[in-house]
Amino acid sequence: MRESIREPPFRKSLFWCPDCNVPLVASTCGCGKSGYEIPLTRPHDVRPVLEHDRNIITEYLNTRFGIETLPQILLLNKSGGIDRTDTIIANGVQFGRLTFDPLLREYTIELTPDALPFVISEVSKGIVDITNEIAEGANRHLGGKNIPCKSDLTDGPVIVHANGRYGTGWLRNNVVKVKSMGRPRPAVFPDPDREQVIRCNKPHLKNLERHAIRFIKIEKNRRPECNVAFSGGKDSVVVRELARKAGVTDCYYVDTGLEFPETTEFVRSLEIPLTLRGQDFQAGLRKNGIPAKDHRWCCEWLKLEPVRQWRETRGECVTVQGNRWYESFARAGLPGVAENPYYSGQLNISPIRGWRALEVFLYIWWRELPVNPLYEQGFERVGCWMCPAMLESEYEITRGLHPEKIAEWEKILAKYAKKEHISEAAMKCGWWRWKSPPPKMAELMKESGIQINTQRSIKIKNKR
């Protein structure tokens, strides 16, 4: 009889050690203390802040509020928005919200009232004083109120002050919308580094590793061959290591032909034994049109078909893959073992399906595994350089890294826009990424004065 393995739990919150001031991947810290819970938003894929994002956060908070010091450990929790929207977690609280505006092509950070105790002593600007604008004694009930005010600040997030009380708010056209007011007491926290986070989580990381290796060992013999599907991303770095520890060394990589040069170089440095090549993308474009989030013919064309052709010559196999529940709503129900729906000769097993990006990065740092440099450069996920599933914020980073590739792609997009009667303004904020754009995108167009007709062609009334 086959040994069975318990399904890992689906976690909707993050634990935090109040003594060590570190995030925990389970409920207790290596120091012995129980962590408290911080709720997460869907898809609950909490991850550490890496270099590029840290620079954005530091620069924004310094420019807007004069804040100079931030904890070494910052986390991000993706939440719903038109483009990039992340809750920033710091010192065990939801600290703020980082958003990217696809029209203005800029980031904003809105602080939460919980952030005030550890930034208030450094805040030197970005303050709106409403003491003179409110009735005496009214400062206790300002949360949610719109208060007219005079301010030289540009519209955006602000710290609100009234009679010795502080809060956060949003300034627009000389009216500040107050979130809540209080008397934040400046607080000092320990400032652990990555090493300490790993130390505090080591027992749990060991557990995760042991379970994943056991899972691979149980499942790997269900077909005559077992291999690892390596994508160049962080999740496949982890499964490649876990599979190696479980005795699986065969590994393949599919080069779609649209890989970032950074990914190609990274894969080359790892000496992955087999590279399969995707079909010609230009031929796919002529046949299927522009790929979109809701029209991902490219996955089949560039990734699945070369694997199918290869397996036809080799026969059935088990493939260890790095897919995780927390990556997307679509993957939230991913089983541990499943036939490849595109090619039934391949049995996919997912040993890290229950890991979040936080566990993945902690494991990489603990085991000192090499990782694709694109993560430190601001990408949350690594795929093709023009992937329609990419965020506009990531597309902007790509433009900076590889302007020649983006120029080439935008020539193709311009032809498509002309044919479909899509305005330049709509294309610029990523309208091409959907065949049927979601209502929130249509709403953004409307709010910005970009009219959309039912034939999916857009006329501009006025530019924002």
Q: Which is nearer to Zn ion, 29 or 205 (CB)?
A: 29
Q: Which is nearer to Zn ion, 14 or 111 (CB)?
A: 14
Does residue 283 belong to the site contacting Zn ion (CB under 5 A)? no
As given in the structure block, the two tokens for residue 385 are 């350089």
Q: Closest distance between ligand SF4 and the C-beta of residue 390, in Å?
A: 7
Q: How far apart are the first and last CA of the chain?
A: 66
Strand partners, 157: 170
Q: Which is nearer to ligand SF4, 153 or 334 (CB)?
A: 334
Stretch binding ligand SF4 (CB under 6 A), from 61-69, 105-113, 384-392, 414-422 = 384-392
Q: Which is nearer to ligand SF4, 126 or 378 (CB)?
A: 378
Does residue 398 belong to the site contacting ligand SF4 (CB under 6 A)? no
Distance, CA of 271 to CA of 252 (rounded, Å): 10
The residue among 8, 7, 10 whose CA lies nearest residue 42 is 10
Report what 208 binds from ligand SF4, Zn ion, none; CB cut-off 5-8 Å by kind: none
**Interaction mask 15-54, Zn ion, x per CB under 5 A:** --x-xx--------x-x-x---------------------
Does residue 412 belong to the site contacting ligand SF4 (CB under 6 A)? no
As given in the structure block, the two tokens for residue 406 are 């983006």
Residues in Cβ contact with 64 at an 8 Å cutoff, skipping those fewer than 6 apart: 109, 125, 126, 156, 157
Do residues 142 and 167 touch, judged by C-beta distance below 8 A?
yes
Distance, CA of 426 to CA of 90 (rounded, Å): 35
Report what 54 binds from Zn ion, ligand SF4, none; CB cut-off 5-8 Å by kind: none
Residue 187 Cα distances to 21, 91, 300, angstroms: 13, 10, 53
Residue with tokens 């440099």: 373
According to DSSP, the β-strands at 251-255 and 274-277 are: parallel
What is the maximum span of the chain, computed from C-alpha positions, in angstroms?
82
Q: Closest distance between ligand SF4 and the C-beta of residue 82, in Å?
A: 19
Distance, CA of 440 to CA of 332 (rounded, Å): 22
Residue with tokens 């740092």: 365
As given in the structure block, the two tokens for residue 83 are 């483009």
Does residue 106 belong to the site contacting Zn ion (CB under 5 A)? no
Does residue 232 belong to the site contacting ligand SF4 (CB under 6 A)? no
DSSP 113: G
Q: Closest distance between ligand SF4 and the C-beta of residue 154, in Å?
A: 36
Q: Closest distance between Zn ion and the C-beta of residue 197, in Å?
A: 10
Query: Hey, which residues between 280 and 319 contact ligand SF4 (CB under 6 A)?
Result: 291, 296, 298-299, 302-303
Interface pick for ligand SF4 out of 160, 387, 425, 444 (rule CB under 6 A): 387
Does residue 199 belong to the site contacting Zn ion (CB under 5 A)? no
Q: Could you check whether the bond before residue 43 is cis, i.e. omega within 30 degrees of 0?
A: yes
Interface pick for ligand SF4 out of 374, 384, 406, 452 (rule CB under 6 A): 384
Q: Closest distance between Zn ion and the C-beta of residue 13, in Å?
A: 17
Does residue 433 belong to the site contacting ligand SF4 (CB under 6 A)? no
Do residues 383 and 236 touch, judged by C-beta distance below 8 A?
no
* Per rule CB under 5 A, count of chain residues that contact Zn ion: 6
* Per rule CB under 6 A, count of chain residues that contact ligand SF4: 12
Q: Closest distance between ligand SF4 and the C-beta of residue 443, in Å?
A: 25
Helices 194-219, 357-366: inter-axial angle, 10-degree rounding: 100
Query: What sign results for the dihedral spanned by CA atoms 20, 87, 208, 272?
Result: negative
Stretch binding Zn ion (CB under 5 A), from 9-17, 76-84, 258-266, 439-447 = 9-17
Do residues 278 and 303 touch, judged by C-beta distance below 8 A?
yes
Work out the number of other CB atoms within 10 angstroms of the CB of residue 68. Answer: 11
Q: Closest distance between Zn ion and the C-beta of residue 36, in Å?
A: 11
Stretch binding ligand SF4 (CB under 6 A), from 208-216, 266-274, 380-388, 454-462 = 380-388
**Interaction mask 157-186, Zn ion, x per CB under 5 A:** ------------------------------
Does residue 383 belong to the site contacting ligand SF4 (CB under 6 A)? yes
Distance, CA of 282 to CA of 257 (rounded, Å): 10
Q: Which is nearer to ligand SF4, 93 or 299 (CB)?
A: 299
| DSSP 3-state of 276 | strand
Which residues are near ligand SF4 by CB under 6 A? 256, 258, 291, 296, 298-299, 302-303, 383-384, 387, 389
